[in-house]
Structure 1
Amino acid sequence: MATVPYLKKYYLEKVVPELIKSRGYKNIHQVPNLKKIVLNSAFKAEADKGHMAEVVKDMTKLSGQKPIITKASKSVAAFKVREGMPLGCVVTLRGARMWEFYLRLTAVALPMIRDFRGTSNRLDGRGNYSLGIADHTIFPETQADGSQRANIGMDVIIVTSAQTDDEGRELLRLLGMPFRRSSAADAAAATATAAAKA
């Protein structure tokens, strides 16, 4: 019998009751959940086969599964793109791998960013969240072999079952996403601190 990932267990035992209490859901199936996480990385325009192989290798290490190579569907002369040319790679995570990646992202990788002050708290209007990562080496598994390689940027798209951005934001926050505090929240905290000192 497979073990339940730590974060999924935390979601079921802590996050679901908290969301039911704060949002007044009548049914457990109304509670928003993580559906999938998509990792997407583009190859450099002048990328050779060696660089592409490195990107695929590192994306495999990050996700635990082999990425799909995305190719150009048509030629675009202005961008020097030919039909069938490899453009990047994409991985879709579901189930246990999704929960494990989310935990590594929020608890290990993001805090490794120099001068990290939190992630943007803007969602896409449908409760989904996109995050750009400029340097993939914030994930420890990419540093395991100790080899020097070029930084690989990637997009992380977190798809939830939330109906609104507010629901999605609260779900991700309760699951540990280190959102940047809004200026209004900072002002309120500063006022509370000043009042406490007076």
Structure 2
Amino acid sequence: MNRLHKTYRETILPALKKEFGRENTLSIPRLTKIVVSVGVGTKEDNHDKALVSVAEQLAIITGQKPKKTIAKQAIAGFKTRQGDVIGLMVTLHGDRMWEFMDKLSSIVLPRVKDFQGISNTGFDGHGNYNLGMTEQIVFPEIEYDKIDRIRGLQVTIVTSAKNDVEAKKLLVLLGVPFAKQEKAS
């Protein structure tokens, strides 16, 4: 069992039960899955080479082989056709999810340049959090010399929380550093 998962079971779960005033353990918010995705687009000259490079990097970061994301419809403005491969994604569950969350909150986010905490506005209203990262080189597994170009990636943290307040409380207890909210005057 991962360090963060053990902490969740032993300390965070009882704390959330007490705070929310619930008896049933299954009604307490928990991590469901984490989705990591990278858009590659179709405008690049070496599209196939870029896909292979991004797939290798995503596999190194997450420990799992990525799945291709395909355009559902043609969009002339983006020069995509229906069926084009436009990105890659990985869905993490179980131990890999907990390991990735631990690495994200304790190693990766503090390595981001000029990091003041992640935004409080990334919640979707249903207890899920979306985090956009501008570069993949903040992950310790990625070697700067071996990347073809700096790319951003999207991390979606899906929780079983019913609202954003519960989800934020869960993420704060899991060690995710949020930015300080400025008080309105």
Residues 158-196 of structure 1: per-residue CA shift (max 9 Å, x gap): 0000011100000000001100111129x9xxxxxxxxx
Secondary structure of the corresponding residue to residue 45 of structure 1: coil
User: Which 10-residue stretch deviates more, 130-139 or 63-72?
Assistant: 63-72
Which structure 1 residue ranges, 5 or more long, are not aligned?
188-198
Matches within 5 A, 1:105-184: 105-122=104-121, 123-143=123-143, 146-184=145-183
| Alpha-carbon displacement from aligned partner over 1:84-112 (angstroms, at most 9, x marks no partner) | 21100111000000000001111000100
Give the Å deviation of 1:51.
1.1
Match of 1:78 in 2: 77
> TM-score, structure 2 length as denominator?
0.93
Whether 1:32 aligns to 2:39 is: no
Q: 2:156 is matched by which residue type in structure 1?
A: I
Identity %: 39
Identify the residue that residue 60 of structure 1 maps to in structure 2: 59
CA positional deviation for 1:45: 3.3
Give the Cα–Cα distance (whole angstroms) in 2 for the partners of residues 126 and 74 of structure 1.
27
Cα distance in 1 for residues equivalent to 2:119 and 2:60: 26
| Greater helix proportion | 1
Task: Tell me the secondary structure at the aligned position of residue 146 of structure 2.
Answer: coil
Q: Which moved more, 1:41-50 or 1:52-61?
A: 41-50
Instruction: Give the aligned residue type for 1:176.
Output: G
Find the counterpart in structure 1 of residue 3 from structure 2: 6
Equivalent pairs counted in the alignment come to: 182
Shift of 1:147: 2.1
